[in-house]
Structure 1
Amino acid sequence: MGQIIIFLVLLGLGYFFGRMAESRHYKRIHQREQAYRKLLVMPEKIPPLEFSQHESTLVSGNVVISVDYFKTVAAGLRSIFGGRVAAYESLLDRARREAILRMQEEAKAKGADAIYNLKFETARIGQNAGQSLGSVEVLAYGTALIPTPDMRAERIARNNLVQGK
């Protein structure tokens, strides 16, 4: 009986703290996505014509996110009955979005206007006795399109003209 109570307490704590951490992470993701809204990210293999004069470089972002205790138990129960494992869907969603944001941060630091040819790689890490997911790693990578020095100087001159400087 004592083991069941400990299990239920751990399950409740896992649910509460896992939801709290996930909620905070989603809030930070939304804020950062708003900040990078103007940096285009597209899966096309060929960049649009307006970016034909840009320089290009590889950018990437990766993240490892761990599964909380509640999600592990919920996924284990779902594997008995079958169906969607919704507990892991939010985990993968957060991981993908965080990886894209980290890639955008790198591209922005390099002065990029856009990222094309977006790709993802995922990996499962830290399995517990081969039974559960443990953690998931997501790598997002693509080609950043960076304006040439001449294009940047032209933009500055155009902005100064518009602002009346």
Structure 2
Amino acid sequence: MESLIILVVLTTLGYAFGSVIERRHFASIIAREHLLRNIMCFSARTPPSDIGPVDSQLVGGNVVISIDYFKLIAAALRGLIGGRVSAYETLVERARREAILRMKVAAQDLGATQIFNVKLETASIYNGYQQQTGSVEVYAYGTALIPHTS
């Protein structure tokens, strides 16, 4: 009985700490998105023809985000009944937004104001027991447009 109580307490603590870390990461993402809102991203392949003289350079941002063990258990249980697996949804959302932010920082370092032809690539980094996803990699890339300064 004592072992079961210890297991429940440790599982609850692990889940709580994982949730706190995830909330902090989302808060950090929101703050940085606000700071980088002036760098516009477009999925269009080409910029408008009236954009004026610009230089272009490929920029990218890469991130690997891991799901915590306790959410992995919750996702596995959800897989038994079916439906949305919100633990994976937040994992992918955090990774996608973080990769775009890192790409924007790379563009900002070049003096770019816009990024065109933005693409996202994803990959599962770790497949553990029964092919469960443990980490996801997202790579965001595009063409940064750097206005001429003359």
TM-score (norm 2): 0.92
Is 1:35 paired with 2:43? no
3-state SS of paired residue (2:133): coil
Deviations 1:82-101 (A, max 9, x none): 11111110111111000000
RMSD: 1.5
- Corresponding residue for residue 127 of structure 1: 127
TM-score (norm 1): 0.84
Bigger strand share: 2
Structure 1 window deviating more from structure 2 (129-138 vs 31-40): it is 129-138
Query: Runs of 5+ in structure 2 lacking a partner?
Result: none
Relative to structure 1, is the Cα distance of residues 13 and 50 closer, same or farther in structure 2, using a 3 angstrom cutoff?
farther
- Corresponding residue for residue 44 of structure 2: 44
- Corresponding residue for residue 107 of structure 1: 107
Aligned residue runs from structure 1 range 53-64, under 5 A: 53-64=53-64
Give how far 1:53 is off.
2.3
Which structure is larger by alpha-carbon Rg, 1 or 2? 1
Quick one: percent identity of the two aligned structures? 52
Give how far 1:55 is off.
1.3
Query: Runs of 5+ in structure 1 lacking a partner?
Result: 154-165
- Corresponding residue for residue 12 of structure 1: 12
d(CA) in 1 for partners of 2:119 and 2:132? Answer: 26
Query: What number of residue pairs does the alignment pair up?
Result: 150
